[in-house]
Structure formats: structure tokens, C-alpha cells
Amino acid sequence: MVKLKDIPKVDRPREKFLEKGADALTKSELLAILLGSGIKGTNVKTLSQKILRKFGDDFINTTVDELTQISGIGKAKALQITSALALARRIQDEQNNSDNLILSAKDAIAIVSDLKDKKREHLVCLYLNARNSLLKKETVSIGTLDKSLIHPREIFAPGLKMHAAGVILVHNHPSGDVAPSEQDKQVAKRIIEAGQLMGINVIDFLIVAKNDSHSILGELHNTKLTNTEYVAEGAQSSLFDLLVDANQAYFYDTNINDETPKPKNKKNAPRFIDLFAGIGGFHVAFHNAGAECVFVSEWDEPAQKTYRHNFYKMSPEIFHSGNFIGDITEVEPQDIPEFDILTGGFPCQPFSQAGFKKGFGEMRGTLFFDIVKIIDEKKPKAFFLENVRHLFKHDNGKTFETIKKVLMEDLGYSFFYKIVKASDFGMPQHRPRLFMVGFRDKTIDFKFPEPLKELKYNMSDVLGGSCDKEVGFTLRVGGRGSKITDRRNWDAYRVNGKIVRLGSKEGLKMQGFPEWFKFPPTLSEVQAMKQLGNSVAVPAIQAVAEEIVKTLKKHGR
């Protein structure tokens, strides 16, 4: 174990804070200063990382009792940490401007003013702390209230996660009539009673329309509960069914895609980790290639929701074991479970130095350095990295040469690379990407799979009509909505003589995602298109994944 005194002074949390300020420290380094010292066998930096990983985003609300359950953390130290967190929360609340304080129905309606113009019915929850400060605004349901995705657990699970004291529900009526229906009253009363069981007070239930609003709480006293039907659950007559396990609330906020395939029997299958995972293109590809995912890292919260929505049923153990994490920089490589293949489409920030003579040292400050640390610690059998084609020529090729040198000379792996297009494997977009594959057994002579001779389908198939382009534009992030004649256009096409724009349904097909893959129902179309633009073309990844798995088996994995 590396002791803190063995770490260069410049990298020790206290010295780093004094020299560079708080912004230069990670969350775990800041916590390490509060902890002061580690425990036997674990230095303070590693201990702080484990604590943050255990509690995740909810660390800000950690209690003394929860902290003292960690070996080596006594009541005095736990009290010191929780007091610091409480002080930070209190100061933050007091600095919040009046827009974040909800003291009346008028304040609540102002925050959700956009609902008045919605053409479909929405249910929005405003979660408040004990001082009526807004913790989070979340759209829970889109549809019609009597035939929607609404279920009490979807309302209270996020509240339990953030330790909310109360919630205000706001529901819109596109018809313009704010009078509550009998179904509105039934659902509202059941939610209020569920809130009493959950310990989260339902402060108000508001209906808004174009030019009016209405609170229905006062009309519920004489409402008798009948069986309320929820689309996903069927008839539900018992309040006991409303109880939510707070420990599992994390998994309820996106629902689960019931169309996702069940886990396969993968005894002796190669194990892979999915870094910078996005919405799971690598996961689909390697799952189809017969491998098993054991660890996932993705920092973007909306992408996390899409990932959980589609893979919870396929790989539940990842989520239950705490191996679905956000920021990879907060994880110690030794805490990652054993695996055979490392995968990832890592972001490529410009390296801070032009040369490439410093090996590991040159990677610092880039996310590629985290890949280097994991490979160095875990020594997997193989890696598969993906990036934009431009990486090959970035900084006159010096960036690519640095990556190649570190993987080959410093880590001791073979290195194979190729620029591969999505259209090489049947997809109707070019989408050229740089694929990099390597093996710890340097005697392996890896061959990239040969391209297909024909497209699996073209843009006419994608768009459901006669399109003037057989191969479409590469999906991108941003820049949507340009005129079809604009050189920046990538989402407008002429179909059957009319101009149409790509949506997420068409984007999924262009990226080769399977038919069962769905975006969460509450995810906006803007977010869905952004996630697709950041994703990978699944068939191209899968072709290489199958070759890697086959190669490992051939050489006696």
C-alpha cells in the first residue's frame, strides 16, 4: 500500500490546497483533508475515495450513523464531517436567491410556467428541503394522467434520494380547463397518503392551464379511494404496495426497459469494463459478442439514465454491486473488479506538452491518463479504444504517437489501429472513427474485420420514403435545425419531395442500435439526439468486439 508520506508533497491534499487552492483538488482530496488520517492498511486518500464511492451523489446528506459504519471512522470524526456538510448546505441555502424559495402556489407556478403551453399532459415534481428551498425540479410523467407512466414510486424515489422534506406536484391540462377530474383526485389522494408513509410531505397538488391554475388539495377531504390503475403495475389496492425501499430508490428514477434481453449464461465468458460509456454502444456490441460487462463509468447524468433504463435488466449485478459509477477520476484502479478487456471511447483533450518523451507524466491532466492507470494496475488481456478520426493527426500526429508510445513502451502492449467507417459495416452514415486495439500477449497478430460489401439499409429505409441520399450525414452534437441548403446541415433530408428532419428513432437506426433499445420516456428529444451524436455505431464496434473475443479464445484466454 502507498503511504501518504511516500506521495510527493506537491500531490498531498493539504500541500496541494495551500499551493493551488481548493479548485485544484478532487472531491476525495478535499475529504481527505477533513479525515486527516487513514486507517491501518489504507491511506487517507484511498479511504476518502471509498467513502465517496459508497455514498455517491448523496454524500452531501450523509449521516453520522452511516459514516460510523465504515471501519476506522469514529463518532467524533463522523460528526466533524457531517457538521461541515451541514454548514455548506446552510450557507448555500441562505445564498440562494428568492427564485429558489417556494413560499406560495404562485412561486411554484412561476417555476413551471412552461407547462401552460404544453400540448401533452406532464406531471412535474418540485422537491423542497425543510426551509422551502427548491432542491430539484423533475418531470416525472408525460402523457395523460389517467393513462400515463405515473406511479407513486416515481414521485417519491427521487425525493428519498435527495432527502427532500416536501414535494409540490404540478400537472397541466392542455384543454385549458383547470377543474380536476375524478381521476386527478384519486391519484392526488393516493400520492398524499403514500407521502405520509414515505416521510415526504405533499405540500400542494396544482393544475395549470393556459390562463388559469387551481389547487386541488382542498377538494380531497370527501374523496374516497378506489383501485387506482397504473400502466406498468395494473390494479393496486394496498398502500403497502406503495412502500419504496430507499436503498433501491436509485434505480426507480428512469423506470426499466422491459424489452431489454435478460442476462445470458456467460460462464467462462470474457469480462469487459465500459469506460466513458455514454448510452452503452460498447455494452450492446460486446454483449452480442458473448462477453460480460462487470463495471461501467459515465459522468453525464442524462446518459446515465438512458444506460440504466436499457441495461438494468440485462446486467443487474453491475447496479446492485456499486460498479455503475460516474466520474472515473474518483475511482482507484484496484477497486475495479477483475476483467479481461478494457473498452472506451475516451474524450481527447489536447495534451499539455507538445513532445512525447515523458510517458505517463505527459498523460496527467487528460482522461486518457485514467485509462493508463487502470491498464497499469489491472493488466487486462486486451483493450479496445475509440476516438474521432482527427486524433490521428492532432498536433501533427504527436498526440497519437504519445498514446501509442505509452501503450506499447510503458505498458507493454501490442498496438493495432485503423480508421473505420460506420458504412463499412452496413450503416447509412460514414462516421469515420479511429479504432485502437492491443493485447498483453504481444505475439498475437490481430486482424481488423473486413468491411461489408453492401449497406444493411439506406436512408430511404431509415426515413420511410424515397430519400435523395443513400448514405446520410454523420450524426453530430449540436447544430441541429440548419436549412437543407446550408453546408452545416446534417439532420434535414428530402423525402418524397418534402423536407423532413431526423428524430431519435431514426438516429437509433442509423447508429445500429437494436430494436429493443429505447430512450427513457421523460428524456427530451434534444437530449436524445445529443446522446446519439456522442455514441458509437454499434455494428462497427461489434465486428471488432467479435474479433477480439475470438482472438482471445484462440490464444487460450
Mean pLDDT lowest among 54-63, 350-359, 361-370: 350-359
Mean pLDDT lowest among 44-53, 98-107, 139-148, 242-251: 242-251
Q: What backbone torsions phi and psi does residue 205 show, to the nearest 5 degrees?
A: -130, 105
Mean pLDDT lowest among 127-141, 372-386, 446-460, 492-506: 127-141
* pLDDT, mean of residues 476-488: 85
CATH topology of domain 99-251: Cytidine Deaminase; domain 2 (3.40.140)
Query: Which one of 57-71, 183-197, 228-242, 534-548 scores highest in mean pLDDT?
Result: 534-548
- Long-range CB pairs of 107-116 (<8 Å, 24+ gap) are 108/168, 108/170, 108/204, 108/206, 109/170, 109/206, 109/208, 109/213, 111/137, 112/137, 112/170, 112/208, 115/170, 115/172, 115/208, 116/172, 116/208, 116/209, 116/210, 116/211
Q: Collapsing DSSP states into helix, strand and coil, what is residue 100? A: helix
pLDDT for residue 146: 43
467 is a catalytic site residue? no
pLDDT for residue 363: 47
* pLDDT, mean of residues 470-486: 87
Quote the crossing angle between the two packed helices 13-20 and 27-35, to the nearest 10°.
Answer: 120
Share of the chain above pLDDT 90, in %: 33
- What residues does each domain of the chain span? 4-95, 99-251, 271-453+537-554, 459-533
Whether the per-residue pLDDT at 454 is higher than 90: the answer is yes
Helix, strand, coil abundance in the chain, percent, nearest 5: 40, 15, 40
pLDDT for residue 38: 63
pLDDT for residue 2: 45
Whether the per-residue pLDDT at 495 is higher than 90: the answer is yes
* pLDDT, mean of residues 123-147: 78
List the catalytic residue out of 125, 293, 348, 467: 348
* pLDDT, mean of residues 383-410: 89
Query: Which one of 83-87, 208-212, 548-552 scores highest in mean pLDDT?
Result: 548-552
* Burial status of residue 148 (CB atoms within 10 A of its CB: 0-12, 13-18, 19 or more): buried
Residue carrying the nine cell digits 452514415 = 429
Whether the per-residue pLDDT at 383 is higher than 60: the answer is yes
CA–CA distance, 175 with 462 (Å, rounded to integer): 35
Query: Which one of 87-91, 227-231, 294-298 scores highest in mean pLDDT?
Result: 294-298
The 8-class DSSP code of residue 410 comes to I
212 or 466, higher pLDDT: 466
pLDDT for residue 242: 37
Residue carrying the nine cell digits 437530449 = 527
Mean pLDDT lowest among 84-88, 183-187, 439-443, 537-541: 183-187
CA distances 127 to 140, 202, 412, 428, Å, are 12, 10, 51, 44
* pLDDT, mean of residues 120-131: 86
Whether the per-residue pLDDT at 319 is higher than 70: the answer is yes
Mean pLDDT, all residues of the chain? 80
CA–CA distance, 309 with 370 (Å, rounded to integer): 27
pLDDT band per the 50, 70, 90 thresholds, residue 5: low
* Burial status of residue 333 (CB atoms within 10 A of its CB: 0-12, 13-18, 19 or more): middle
Model confidence over 179-212: pLDDT tens digits?
Answer: 887 777 777 888 888 887 778 888 888 889 888 8
Identify the bridge partners of residue 344 per DSSP, sorted by sequence position.
275, 385
The three grid cell numbers given for residue 312, joined into one nine-digit string: 438494468
Q: Specify the CATH class of 271-453+537-554 in words.
A: alpha beta
* pLDDT, mean of residues 465-490: 88
pLDDT for residue 221: 56
Reference 155, options 190, 181, 186; nearest CA is: 190
* pLDDT, mean of residues 167-182: 85
Model confidence over 27-38: pLDDT tens digits?
Answer: 878 888 888 776
pLDDT for residue 380: 96
CA–CA distance, 549 with 556 (Å, rounded to integer): 11
